[in-house]
Structure formats: structure tokens, C-alpha cells
Amino acid sequence: MHVLHIVGARPNFMKAAPVIRALGGRTIKQTLVHTGQHYDQNMSDVFFSQLELPAPDVNLGVGSGSHAQQTAEIMRRFEPVAHEYRPDVVLVYGDVNSTVAAALVCSKLLLPIGHVEAGLRSFDRTMPEEINRIVTDRLADLLFTPSEDGDENLLKEGVPATKIYRVGNVMIDSLIRLLPSAMRCSRNGFPDRYALVTLHRPSNVDDTASLKSILDALCEVNESLSVVFPVHPRTRQRIADLGTKVERLHLLEPTPYIEFLALQQRAAVVITDSGGIQEETTYLGVPCLTLRSNTERPVTVTVGTNVLVGQDRDKLISELGNVLEGKAKKGTVPPLWDGHAGERIAEIIAQL
């Protein structure tokens, strides 16, 4: 059997690593294709090294562009690769443009598709990732879900139950494996107690009024709780364009996975608009305030430590007050988030 993996962005790397490792113990040929959707060292190369991913067999070198340009270019460059390798199954991960582009190519070449992290829905089609999730799940032959809500969403959409496999969360596999390394990271240069911030979604970053409101709130938070903020390159440019003074915040360059995991594990609270971080904080038991009005990972709200605050500054400040007073939301770890999701996927593929 021949399995081809498609990755293109940091969340893909964290999800693919456990599956590649689990399949590596079997007599299965594997090919790794990196689309180059994230292409600078902090966004890509360091993650490959820390996750002990093999060097890609193929790098499409696509780079940045609009959603349409990037998706189209991935399709154009991946199609001859798919023709050449003709794998028995193609595994795609998450909800980035690389995922939907590869799924579209494979579906027209009649190559079986497995979608790792299937079934997640925010029910907000203004999010490009939601479109990617819906399309990929409609095309996939094997749908590997991380939680019960994923199964329910797919069944409601008419996906046959025989295609759905609840395996748990592969991102948590990577977290569990690398947490000991993260805990050995130096604390030098960081405050004893801090709020960790990530910010990259267009709805928060590209809207001037929204970004200014968030930055003003973070500066207010920083008066009572230090703010540590690894800044996405696009976010840094938007902040510079806005001209808001943020010198008192602890601004960092994009942070490699192990170092960022250390920052999460030690944080008093995480403020984010990222999907994966909602899951990681839930596993770590760290309070998470999500700057979105919805989430495709509702289990992090119903079971975990996540609270949706949207763009409501008053709610953000109120929830941070709860953290400072020791009244932060408590949570538990969802079922099957146990570090063995990659092994379950490998076992299912091996039985095909």
C-alpha cells in the first residue's frame, strides 16, 4: 500500500506527524508532499525539525496569494505529482487551502481521500476555512473525526456512517509527545504570570476598528497582567499600519512549536482566534478566551476551558477579571484525546 500525505501549513504538520510515525511501523510506503503554503523558516522548516517529520519528497513551492490564487496554484502543481505517484490513498489534514485543493485534484483522478480532522463546523460561511471543511468532507472517502460533534455533523449532512471513523485528536498526539521538551524550555525573559495572545484571522486583523479595539483592550489588560504576544507577520504589518502604540506588550517573532507549547502551558490565560489553540489549552487545562463569536471546535466550550468572547471588549475584560480572581472556567479533556489518534488512523488504513 502507498499513502501520500499533503501538508502546507503549521497545523497540518502537527496533525500529520503522528500519522506518519504510526504508519512508519508498518509495511506501507509513504510519500510526503509539502505545498509550500507556509514557506519561511519559523512557519515551516523549524516545525519539521521539532516534530521529526521526514523531509518532503515533493515541495510544490506555492507561497502566498489570495485564497483563489493559492488554491488554484496548488491544484495546478499537485496534479502531475498525483499522476506520477498514483497512491492508494491520499491523506489531507485540517481546513487550509492545501487540503481542499488536493481533495479536488484527487477526486477527479479517482484517488481515494482520507480527511484527518473531518466533521468540524462553525456554521459560519464567511470563514474561508468553513468552505474548505465542507468541500473536503463531501469529497473524502474516509472521514477521521476528533470528537462526537464531528460524527453528528457528517451524519446530518448525509455522509454514510460507514465512512466515518472517530479516532480522537491527532494534534493532541503531538502535544503529548513534545510536552516534556516544552517543560524544559527556559523561562528567562518572560514574566512569572502572563496572558498569551495570538491573533491572525482577517475578521480581527484586517478590520481597522476591530484591530484597534483588541489592541486597546490588550494594553488595558497589560496594566494588571503582562501580555506576551508572538506576532504573525501579517498581523505585525497591520499593527504598524494602524500606528497604535503597543510598546509595553511583550511582542515576539513567530515562535516554533515546542517554545510556543511552553508558553501555553505556563500562561495564566490564552487569548486567541486560532482553532487549534482552543484544543491545546483544553488539554492543558489553561483558560482560553477566543476572539470569535463561533467555533468549529464546540467541544472546547462544552467540555473544555474555552470561552467565546467575540469582539466584545467588555466581555473580554470581564472574563480576564475572573482569571485574575481565580474564578476561571474549569474543563476536562474530551474522550480519545489521549495521544493515540495517529495509531488508530494507521490501524484503519492498514485494514483497507
Angle 301-305-306 from CA coordinates, rounded to 5°: 50
Non-local (6+) Cβ contacts of 32 within 8 A are 4, 5, 7, 16, 20, 53, 54, 55, 56, 57, 58
Query: Helices then strands (H, E): number in the chain?
Result: 15, 13
Classify burial at 350, counting beta carbons within 10 Å of its beta carbon; exposed 0-12, middle 13-18, buried 19 or more. middle
Q: What is the full DSSP assignment across 152-195?
A: HHHHHTT--GGGEEE---HHHHHHHHHHHHHHTS--TTS-SSEE
End-to-end CA distance of the chain: 9
Choose the catalytic residue: 200, 232, 250, 340.
200
What whole-number distance in Å separates Cα of residue 14 and Cα of residue 257? 9
Q: Look up residue 174 and give its three cell numbers.
A: 503531538
Q: What is the DSSP string of 282-299?
A: HHHT--EEESSS--S-TH
Q: Are 278 and 204 in contact (CB under 8 A)?
A: no
Distance CA 331, CA 85 (A): 45
Q: Are 198 and 289 in contact (CB under 8 A)?
A: no
HSE-up (13 A, CA, CB side) for residue 170: 29
> Torsion over CA of 89, 93, 95 and 97, rounded to 10 degrees?
-70
Residue 154 backbone zone (phi > 0: left; psi -120 to 50: alpha; other: beta): alpha
- Please name which of 337, 329, 320, 235 lies closest in space to residue 280, comparing C-alpha atoms: 337
Active-site residue, 67 included? no
Q: Rounded distance, CA 182 to CA 261, Å?
A: 6
For the annotated catalytic residues, the residue numbers are: 200
